[in-house]
Amino acid sequence: MELWETGERKEMKASLEHIAETLEYLSSDTAPMRISNSYVGDYLCIARIKVTHEVLESLLELEPVKEIDCRPQPAFDRTADYNLPTSRLPEVISPPEENSGILVIDSAVQRDHPLIAPVLTEADVFPDPGQELIKRGADDVHGHGTSFAGIAIYRDFENSIEKLSFDQ
């Protein structure tokens, strides 16, 4: 949620506090609502909120509220839509040595994935110095890095699935 900037930080903070109090009042066990975090800068006042659709509509009518963006919906199919049995996958040939490499910097990659393992040279983790933020290894847990590696390697993944041809 973004509020109209007035140039007065105290006023902006007061508007956010009023909205937070209202959300707390309207909140219930079945529909918890709140401001989870906010930022009041010199030229920007934003807040991340959790609200019901009805309250969202009411917030949009408040004078200080400039706009509210909803969580984006992916414009691509979920990985479950591409759930091919490994028995249907063609053999993946490693690319020639003279091919350029691709560096993917992400959370991790599933190194034994049947479409990635034959073309993967290396996967590593570069933890923060105190290993407080990054505590796991190079194997992907959530699928994010594996998905990006697949796109980087095969480009049009949907086409590759339709043709059952995975050329790099």
pLDDT by residue, tens only, the chain of 168 residues: 999 988 899 999 999 999 999 999 999 989 999 999 999 998 899 999 999 999 999 999 999 999 999 877 666 555 555 667 778 787 887 788 888 888 888 778 888 888 888 888 888 777 777 767 666 666 777 777 888 888 888 887 778 777 877 776
Q: Which helix (H) or strand (E) holds 3?
A: strand 2-3
CA 18 – CA 14 distance, rounded (Å): 6
Domain spans of the chain, in order of start = 2-67, 74-168
Radius of gyration of the chain (CA): 23
CA 28-49-14 angle, to 5 degrees, is 95
Residue for token pair 């020639």: 96
- The β-bridge partners of 50 are 34
